[in-house]
Amino acid sequence: MISSFNSYLSKQTAYWTKAVLTLGMVILLAGCITTASKPLDYDATKGSAYYLSLAQNSSGKEQVNWNLLAARSLISENKLSQAKNILSQLPDNLSGEQKKEQLLNLGELAVKQRTSFDIAQLNVDDLSEAQKIRYYHIRIGVSGQKGDTGAQLRDYITLEQLGTEQQRHQTINETWDFLTSLSDAQVNKVIVYVNEVTLQGWIDLLYTYRNSGGAYTGEFNTPEEQEHFLNLKNAIHGWQIQYSSNPAAIYLPRNIYGEARRLPETDNHLTVALFLPLSGSSKVFGETIRLGYMDASKFYPSEQNQNINVYDTTAAPIADLAVQAQQQGANLIVGPLLKNNVSAMEALAINVPVLALNRTDAAETGSVTAANVCYFALSPEDEARDAARHIFSQRKQMPLVIAPQGDLGRRVANAFAQQWLELKGEANAYVQYFASADQLSRTMNKGVGLEVNGELIIDRSQLPHDPMEQDPLAGLILQAQPDTSTVVDSTEPAEDIVPEIDSIYVFATADELTLIKPMLDMKSEREKEREKAQAERAAQLAQAIAEGNTEGIEEEPEAEMKEKPTPPIYSSSRSHSVNSGGDFSNEMDRVQFSEIPLIVNQADMLETLPSYIKNDYSLVRLYAMGIDAWRLANRYDELKPYKADFLEGMTGKLSVVERCDVTRELIWQQYRRGTVVPVR
């Protein structure tokens, strides 16, 4: 009996042991399979700071994943040295997916840095479709470094077969841009084999285009221009018949007839919901933008027409208007304009893409990202960044920002300093605040000028360890703003605050600038004290020489005796108004300032505007914003991060940066002898 029980017990124990071991092995293998096959989930709308913060708060394999995604984001943001540093610190024991991501990052980095990369390290058959798209872009770049035009064209043809319809269309446009950039000699060197019908079609399209005179860049207003366009169109139509299966025959490159005859993404008109404040205190701003948006088609008659429905954002909640717009068939929402409404729009989960006409603080810092929202704002921060680029291009080394006290002044100073850090690689921009025009005036009446004694904008990396120090831009902090102006009452400045400021960016109104500029030219209280001390020292020296006793009296160094001229002054469009002529131009002699193309280059257009707009440059800029918003809406599908010189707009040369943010490069001019001249 006991023997039978022991035998039964032994069998049961062996059974359950085997079952547990088998189950454990199944779980282990399942985990390994999941880990090995799962690709890294990359979101292009999130910046590198997002991935770096996740990496800092994780460890092990998860940290490696976040670092790989951070490196990819840094490469797309052109922060190449930081990306290279992260990739160099990865461990050796990477999983299969991690190794592929590492190699793709290294390939993309090599293409941007124009360094060599062994593409054979990657097996295209082991890549996902999204990875294959990156792979072929790397191949195109590597072949470009070798001057192998034929290989680049073949890779473009393969790339066109990958991705979504929109991605394939984009590849067709990129292929055409690449082809038209080639010289005839480069094209003639491409060897086309008998079975390469698609490649032959592309090359014949280029020949057809060039033999017909190419695209005309004007508006086709004369009979000769119209005839040129018709000849080109007929020649390309003949090509489409001959190469009917070529991807470019089915979807013609959008710029094949030139910018003036740019083809729409589809044959259907775009239905736009225009969200603007059309009542209340912001009515004049909304109405001005609406007028510019509606007038845009008059200035660009060859561009795609739009079906436009206008919604008053002060009349109903944003959520209700968004639902109404969707019900009325909107393909795109342009607006809102006010920041609180943009925040409300960001919080909505809607499928309709949005071109917001302002930028929230959360969008500025990247703490809030919406996959279907792009931003186009006439912000002072944009102008400050453009000023930093302009001043840097003039080989200045140590700029000072003069801005009003308050949140606006701090934002402008920070934006300037961040751009300066990106350009120069070191944080040596300074900021100096003023309280008000009244206080400036009171100080000026005392005969006291402005002492250049700003506060340095420093980098957290110079402070004790901080978890944000991996991202130099995230580490910027502005030293505490003083309770009273550091500009207007500088009778006792510190001796070592600012070394050798060589340029000054003033963010101020015209009234404020008329006080700040002459005060910068005046001798400050400190300089007057220095001159008084110099005079006393000179008198003592003269008396000592006369008495034949110069012991103990030191002559002031020659360098200190020389009066330093005021550094070059730069100003934002905030100081430029309709009344900026005559005496103002004379007072501002040699000051450089930024302005939008509509005001600088379109005098005839200005004259056609209603008097309430053309007599107020702040409204002219909003009118120009409406025009550019209309053109951006027609190109919304192309608004991808890191596209430089995307559009020559009425508000500036438009580019797209991270988080689908449209930024502007302005025109710089200078007051010279009572007139305004362009800065070369």
Sheet with 455-459, side-by-side order of all strands:
476-478, 455-459, 430-434, 399-404, 503-506, 569-571, 592-595, 667-672, 675-678
The CA-to-CA distance between both ends of the chain, in Å, stands at 108
pLDDT for residue 46 = 74
Q: Are residues 501 and 565 in contact, defined by beta-carbon separation less than 8 angstroms? A: no
Percent of the chain with pLDDT over 70: 79
Mean pLDDT across the stretch 495-509?
A: 77
Question: Residue 219: pLDDT band by 50, 70, 90 thresholds?
Answer: low
| CATH of span 266-394+571-680 | 3.40.50.2300
Mean pLDDT across the stretch 331-345?
A: 94
pLDDT at residue 420 is higher than 90: yes
Question: Residue 365: pLDDT band by 50, 70, 90 thresholds?
Answer: low
Cis peptide before 597 (omega within 30 of 0): no
pLDDT at residue 494 is higher than 70: no
Residue with the larger pLDDT of the pair 215 and 286: 286
pLDDT for residue 528 = 60
Question: Residue 192: pLDDT band by 50, 70, 90 thresholds?
Answer: very high
pLDDT at residue 489 is higher than 50: no
pLDDT for residue 317 = 94
pLDDT for residue 23 = 44
Rounded mean pLDDT of the chain? 81
Question: Residue 460: pLDDT band by 50, 70, 90 thresholds?
Answer: very low
Residue with the larger pLDDT of the pair 41 and 417: 417
Mean pLDDT across the stretch 61-76?
A: 92
Tell me the residue ranges of DSSP E strands in 237-288: 270-276
Single-letter residue type at 292 = G
Question: Residue 585: pLDDT band by 50, 70, 90 thresholds?
Answer: confident
Distance CA 470, CA 460 (A): 10
pLDDT at residue 34 is higher than 50: no
Mean pLDDT across the stretch 128-153?
A: 94
Range scoring the smallest mean pLDDT among 20-24, 219-223, 252-256, 540-544: 20-24
pLDDT at residue 568 is higher than 80: yes
All residues at 6 or more sequence positions from 516 whose CB lies less than 8 Å from its CB, including other chains: 402, 434, 440, 450, 487, 506, 508
The tokens of 111 are what?
Answer: 């293409």
All residues at 6 or more sequence positions from 276 whose CB lies less than 8 Å from its CB, including other chains: 286, 287, 289, 290, 310, 311, 312, 313, 335, 336, 337, 357
Q: List the helix and strand counts (H, then E) for the chain.
A: 27, 17
pLDDT at residue 354 is higher than 90: yes
Mean pLDDT across the stretch 431-439?
A: 84
pLDDT for residue 94 = 92
Question: Residue 215: pLDDT band by 50, 70, 90 thresholds?
Answer: low
User: Length of the chain in residues, anyone?
Assistant: 680
Distance CA 510, CA 150 (A): 57
Residue with the larger pLDDT of the pair 537 and 58: 58
Instruction: Please state the three-class secondary structure of 428-449 as a single string.
Output: CCEEEEECCHHHHHHHHHCCCC
Helix (H) or strand (E) holding 111: helix 96-113
Question: Residue 438: pLDDT band by 50, 70, 90 thresholds?
Answer: confident
Residue with the larger pLDDT of the pair 110 and 497: 110
Sheet with 643-648, side-by-side order of all strands:
306-312, 270-276, 332-334, 354-356, 373-376, 661-665, 653-657, 643-648
pTM: 0.59
Distance CA 623, CA 320 (A): 27
Mean pLDDT across the stretch 546-566?
A: 59
Distance CA 570, CA 502 (A): 11
Question: Residue 652: pLDDT band by 50, 70, 90 thresholds?
Answer: very high
Question: Residue 632: pLDDT band by 50, 70, 90 thresholds?
Answer: very high
pLDDT at residue 343 is higher than 60: yes
The tokens of 288 are what?
Answer: 């001005």
pLDDT for residue 262 = 67
Tens of pLDDT along 252-300?
888 887 766 666 655 456 889 999 998 899 999 999 999 999 999 888 8
The tokens of 264 are what?
Answer: 């729409």
pLDDT for residue 158 = 95
Q: Are residues 337 and 276 in contact, defined by beta-carbon separation less than 8 angstroms? A: yes
Question: Residue 458: pLDDT band by 50, 70, 90 thresholds?
Answer: low
Residue 396: burial class (beta carbons within 10 Å; 0-12, 13-18, 19+): buried
Which of 371, 317, 364 lies closest to 344 in space, CA to CA? 317
pLDDT at residue 116 is higher than 60: yes
Residue with the larger pLDDT of the pair 546 and 326: 326
Residue with the larger pLDDT of the pair 636 and 427: 636
Question: Residue 461: pLDDT band by 50, 70, 90 thresholds?
Answer: very low
pLDDT for residue 221 = 63
Helix (H) or strand (E) holding 284: helix 283-299
